[in-house]
A and B are shown apart, each in its own frame.
Chain A
Amino acid sequence: MRRILLRRFAQIIPLILGVIVLNFALIQMSPGSFLDVMTAEQQVSDPAMIERMRVLYGMDKPVIIQLLKYIWSVLTLDFGYSYRQNETVLAVIMQALPATVILMLASIAIALLVGVLAGVVAAVKVNTLWDNLISVGAVFFFAAPTFWLGIMLMIVFSVRLGWLPVGGMRDIGVDHGVIGIALDVMRHLALPALSLGLFYAAMYTRVMRASMLEVFRHDFVRTARAKGLSGAQVVVRHVFRNALLPVVTLLGLQLGTVLGGSVVIETVFSWPDIGSLMLDSVMSRNYPVVLGVLVLSSLIVAVANALVDIAYFRLDPRIRAR
C-alpha cells in the first residue's frame, strides 16, 4: 500500500514538468507579450526603453534558457512576479485561491450528499413516483444553466425573502471574531454553493442510480437476501459500497476542475475567484500568473487523482490485490 502511494505521488513530478513545458511552449507561440500590453497601456513608445525592459524581464535570453530558469524557480516555489498587481505571482494566486477552494469544496460536498442520497432513493424505489420525481429533478438541474439557477436562487432567497446576501464573500464591517467571520462567509457561500452543488448533484444522482441498479442485479445481493437481511441492510451493507466506485471516479474528474469550474457562478455572485484572475491575466498577457495558475491546477488535479486512487483501494479489495 505504502509503496503504491509513493509511486503514485512520484508520478506527479514528471506530470507537472510536462505541464510547465507544454504551457510554456504554447505561450511562446502565441503572438504578443505582456510588454506590448504594458507599453501600450502606459503609452511607452521609446524603443530603447522597451529594449531595456526586455532585458530586465529576461526576455532577450533564448527560450530554452527562459524555460529552464522558470522550472528552477518553480522548484523553489517562486512563480515569478506580476507587474500588474505589483506582487509575487504566488501571493496573487493565494489571495484568490481560498475563496475558490471553499466554494468548490462546499458545492462538491452538497453535490455528493444530495446526489448519492437521491441516487440511492431512486434506485431503491425504481420505477415509482419517487424515482420519476428524482429523475426529472436531476434532468432539470443538469439542463438548467448554472448562472440562471444562481440568479433564480438569488431572486428568491436574497431579493424576495431577504434571507441571504446577494453576492460577495464578506459583509463590510462585520468582525465578531473567528466564529462571526465564519458564519458571515457561510451566509454568503450558501447560494453560490447551492447553485453549483445542485448542478453537480444531478450528475451524481444519475451515476449513483445506474450504479445501484447494476449492483442490485448481482448474485451476492440475492445471497444477502437469502440470509434474511432486511431491505435496508442489503442496500446499506451490500449494494451501497459496491455502487460507490463510479461515483468516486466522477468525483476525481470533478476535483480536477476545482480551479476553473466555477467561473460563471463566481461572476454571478461576485465571489472573489481564481477564474476571473486567470481570464484577466490571459487578456493582459500576464503570463507569469497564467503559468502559475496552470501549474497549481495541474498540481491539484494530480493530487486529487492520487486521492481517488487511495479511495479505490479502500473501497475495493480487488484493486488492492493488483
Chain B
Amino acid sequence: MALIDAPPLTPLPPAPALLSVSDLEVTLFTRAGQLKAVDRLSLEVAAGETLAIVGESGCGKSISALALMRLLPEPPAKITGGSVRLAGRDLTRLSEGEMQRVRGKDLAMIFQDPMSALNPVLTVGRQIVEVIARHDPASHRAMQARALELMRKVRIPDAERRFNDYPHQLSGGMNQRIVIAMAIACQPKVLVADEPTTALDVTIQAQILDLMKELQAETGMGLIIITHDLGVVAETADRVLVMYAGRKVEDGTVDAVFDRPLHPYTRGLMGATPSATLQPHGRLAEIPGSVPALADLPAGCAFNNRCPIAFARCFAERPGLTMPAPARSVACFAVEQEGVRHGDPVGA
C-alpha cells in the first residue's frame, strides 16, 4: 500500500552531505552599526571528508566555526540568516537545551590554544569523563575506563598516570591530545578544528594532524579544519574554502585550487606560503595591505584595495559566486570575464 502511494522516485543527489550550511549570516550588533561578520556562507561536508577553511586573521573563519556550534559571543554576534543542517536537522532552529545535547555529541570542536582550552583546576581525566557523563552516562568506573581508553587512543603515554594530572603538568601537544580526546569521546558526526596546530611546535603539529586524520579514517566523521596555514591544507584536506572579509571567495578540491588558484586573493595566499623550492631567494611574497575592518569595507569587491588586477567594475559592484568548473566556485569579476585562463599556476 505504502509503496504504491509513495511519490515517484527523484534521482538521489550525489554523496549526501552530513553537514550542510547554506547562506549562513552572522551579524555583529555594535555601536558602529550592524556588521556582517559572515555573509551568506555555504558549505558542505560529507562523512569522512575534510574541508579546510582558510584566510587571514579577521576574515570570519573562527566566527563561522563558532556559529556552527552556536557558541557565538551573544551579544554582540548573532546568527541572522541561513541554516546549518547536521544529518538533516537545522541547528539554527534548535532551542539552547536541544543544542546542548548536540554539542560534544554530534558536533564537536577543538580550539586553538590547548593550554588555555582546559580548566586549570580540574584533572584532565575528569574533564574527559565530564563529556561522557553528559552525553552517555554510565557508572563512574565505566566512564573512567572509557576516558582512559580515549587517552590511549590519542596516544598519551602512560595514560593511567596522566589521568590525574592537571593541564599545567602536561605539554601543549599533550593538552591538545586531551582536547581531541574530549572532542571524539562521543563519536561526533562532524568535528570542527579551529586552528588546531597554530599554538604548537612544528614537529608536534604534524603529529596532531596525523592523529586527527587517523581518527577520522577510523570513525568516518566529517572534519572541518580552520587554518591560515596552506601547508596544513595540503596535508589534510580534501576540499578547501577560501574566505575573505566574511565571504567565501573561492572553493574547490585541494588539488584543483592548488593547481589553479582562480581568485587573486587565493593566489596571493599561495605566494605567501614559504616553500623551499619556489622561493630560493628568501623574501616571502606577501599580499600588500591588510584585511579591511568590517566597519569600513570598500564599496564593490572587498578585496579591491589589495588586488593587483582590480578594474573599474570591482570598485562598483560586489562579485557573486560563479562556477567556472564543476565543484568549483569563485567570486571574482576578472575570472568571470577572462574565464579560467586567468588562473595559471602560481609563479608562472
Contacts and interface: CB of A to CB of B under 8 A. Distances in A.
B100 A242 contact: no
A7 interface: no
B166 A226 contact: no
A228 interface: yes
Given A228-B101, A228-B103, A229-B100, A222 B121 contact: no
B121 A321 contact: no
A315 to B, nearest CB: 7
Interface in B205-238: none
Interface in B307-346: none
Interface in A214-268: 218-220, 222-231, 233, 237-238, 241-242
Interface residues of B, number: 31
Given A219-B111, A226-B71, A317 B168 contact: yes
A230 B166 contact: no
A227 B147 CA distance: 14
Grouping DSSP codes into helix (H, G, I), strand (E, B) and loop, the B interface class, with mixed when no group exceeds half, is: helix
Interface string B123-139: 00000001100110000
> Which of A222, A223, A241 neighbours the largest number of chain B CB atoms within 10 Å of its CB?
A223
Nearest to B185: A227
Contacts of A225: 71, 103
B133 to A, nearest CB: 10
> Which of A224, A229, A233, A238 neighbours the largest number of chain B CB atoms within 10 Å of its CB?
A224
Given A220-B116, A228-B135, A242 B121 contact: yes
A60 interface: no
A150 to B, nearest CB: 39
Contacts of A321: 166, 168-169
B117 interface: yes
Contact of B131 (A227, A241, A242): A227
Contacts of A318: 120, 166, 168
Contacts of A233: 134
Interface string B174-185: 000001001100
A120 to B, nearest CB: 17
A227 B111 contact: no
Contacts of A238: 119, 122
A218 B121 CA distance: 13
Given A219-B113, A228-B104, 16 more contacts: A222-B117, A223-B117, A225-B103, A226-B109, A227-B130, A227-B131, A228-B102, A228-B105, A228-B134, A230-B97, A231-B96, A237-B122, A242-B121, A315-B121, A317-B120, A317-B121
